Amino acid sequence: MSIEEIIKQTENLSPEEKQELSFYLFFSTLDSEKKQEFIDILKNKNFSKTNLKLRKPGFLKRNFYMSDDFDEPLEDFNDYMF
């Protein structure tokens, strides 16, 4: 099977399957010592959904200030700009 065929097959995966595939690829790059360390960490964690704090969109709204000229070039870089 060619790389192109494999990539084409991954396009049809669900988001959960893509996440599982990425985890598998990440895990396969680790050496045996790192794999065991990673497994030990996962065994000691409790990943139940009740322990995860859900983030709410907009919870930081109006909690910080960004100046109006935020995107303007900095004077310090005038020498480097065309």
- The per-residue pLDDT for 75 is 86
- 2-5 LR contacts (CB < 8 Å, sep 24+): none
Give the integer Cα–Cα distance in Å for 24 and 35: 11
List the domain range (segments joined by +) for residue 11: 3-47+56-80
Q: What is the DSSP string of 39-70?
A: HHHHHH----GGGSPPP-TTTTTTSS---TTT
This prediction has a pTM of 0.40
- The per-residue pLDDT for 36 is 86
pLDDT tens, position by position, 16-61 = 888 888 888 888 888 888 888 878 877 877 666 555 567 788 887 8
Structural domain tally of the chain? 1
- The per-residue pLDDT for 44 is 75
Q: Does the pLDDT value for residue 82 go beyond 80?
A: no
